[in-house]
Amino acid sequence: MSLSGKAAIAGIGATEFSKESGRSELQLAAEACLAAIKDAGLSPSDVDGLVTFTADASAEIAVQRELGIPALRFFSRVDYGGGAAAGTVAHAAMAVATGQADVVVCYRAFNERSGHRFGQANKSGGTGSNAMEFSWHLPYGFATPAAWVAMQARRYMHEYGATSEDFGRVAVTMRRHAATNPKAWFHGRPITLEEHQASRWIVDPLHLLDCCQESDGGVAIVVTSAERARDLPHPPAVIAAAAQGTGPDQMMMFSYYSGDIAALPAMGTVGEALWRQSGLTAADVQTAVLYDHFTPFVLIQLEELGFCGRGEAKDYIREQGIGLDGALPLNPHGGQLGEAYIHGMNGIAEGVRQIRGTSVNQVADVRNVLVTAGTGVPTSGLILTGTG
């Protein structure tokens, strides 16, 4: 039995993306969920499953109460920060495919800019396995996601000769896409490679413009059976594949201790599962939404997912192109670098819009979209397919 084709995304919803939402994270979650449910042509009483991130502050039962959902038959959470994004849809699809639930809403909502900011120095606490992992790193002032990613980026530069400008080309492309997306925080504000190079160091080799913004907002995704989705208002984005994955010797964000760190083996695990489940190859994908909290990992993802060979991403980006007119348009909404940082969930919504043909930066003739979740952590991915 395969999950492929059993479930589809029938609705997407979001709040505005801002730097200060002015309301509670629960309200953002409830608003995003309601918008997604209405987008799917359903009402809260149709919903019987909720999935969110382990990191989310709003309990499934709290969201249930706000929306007035009579009863839940399925609820679960997915761990490891932004690595959870596509994982929530994978869990929802499995629940729908096995009959555990009919309509599952996946949500993520936070005041990540005006409330708790992930980019600030982390603190360790407790003696659980995660606290132990952090304890090998925090005492050295190695305390921010930018620093953790930069460690792998430096090795990648060393191994393959990639430069800061190669990273910068990702940022410039994402900001160009965001510039024409009215929902994007950086709408109308493209950047140049020179501006990228001139931006201050955050953690060398990462400049400020290698790092995504921090955002307030919420996004929700409605998953139901592919069959039921056909009867709902929008063209279904069928889940051709959904997978989670880790790599060998996996850590939360410190997988430096064995093997090649100029790589993202967890994404390799996910990619392999996505191609196997869907029966597709990289050549079948017209556009991809690759998690872009920091630019270097966009390059490594292209390699892990087979769009190009090891160390070739810098050449692929320069020569084939990742813009709307490129060989593989990446993150047409502007990504997290340009639209908003909603822990990858806004990227899934963009994948759905590309399948529906309703994106403000629509790529032509989209049949299959690949969407990935947080990198450097245990992660997940999706391949969405149109029915037309």
**Closest to 45 (Cα-Cα) out of 94, 85, 105:** 105
Phi first, then psi, for residue 6 (nearest 5°) are -80, -35
Instruction: State the minimum distance, in angstroms, from the CB of residue 129 to other proteins.
Output: 9
Instruction: State the minimum distance, in angstroms, from the CB of residue 110 to other proteins.
Output: 19
Known catalytic residue: 80?
no
Known catalytic residue: 291?
yes
Cβ proximity to other proteins: between 58 and 144 the closer is 144
Q: Binder to other proteins among 22, 125, 182, 325 (CB under 8 A)? A: 125
Instruction: State the minimum distance, in angstroms, from the CB of residue 265 to other proteins.
Output: 15
Q: Using the rule CB under 8 A, is 255 a contact of other proteins?
A: no
Pairing of β 7-14 and β 74-78: unpaired
Applying CB under 8 A, the span of 74-82, 133-141, 218-226, 271-279 interacting with other proteins comes to: 133-141
Applying CB under 8 A, the span of 124-132, 233-241, 348-356, 365-373 interacting with other proteins comes to: 124-132
Pairing of β 287-289 and β 368-372: parallel
Q: Using the rule CB under 8 A, is 137 a contact of other proteins?
A: yes
* Binding residue count for other proteins, defined by CB under 8 A: 41
Give strand pairing partners of 51.
76, 106
Q: Binder to other proteins among 21, 88, 144, 225 (CB under 8 A)? A: 144
| Beta carbons within 8 Å of 74's beta carbon, 6+ residues apart | 48, 49, 50, 51, 95, 100, 101, 104
Cβ proximity to other proteins: between 231 and 260 the closer is 260
Q: Using the rule CB under 8 A, is 197 a contact of other proteins?
A: no
Q: How many Å apart are CA 329 and CA 323, to the nearest integer?
A: 5
Instruction: State the minimum distance, in angstroms, from the CB of residue 301 to other proteins.
Output: 19
| Cα dihedral value 275, 320, 314, 311, nearest 10 | 40
The DSSP secondary structure of 13-71, one letter per residue, reads EE---BS---S-HHHHHHHHHHHHHHHTT--GGG--EEEEETT-SS-HHHHHHHHT-S-
Q: Which one of the listed residues 107, 160, 291, 316 is annotated catalytic?
A: 291
What are 133-140's contacts with CB under 8 Å, separation 24+? 133/251, 133/252, 133/254, 134/252, 136/254, 137/254
Q: Using the rule CB under 8 A, is 1 a contact of other proteins?
A: no
Q: Which residues bind other proteins (CB under 8 A)?
A: 119-121, 124-127, 131-144, 147, 150-152, 154-155, 158, 200-206, 249, 254, 256-258, 261
Active site residues: 291, 341
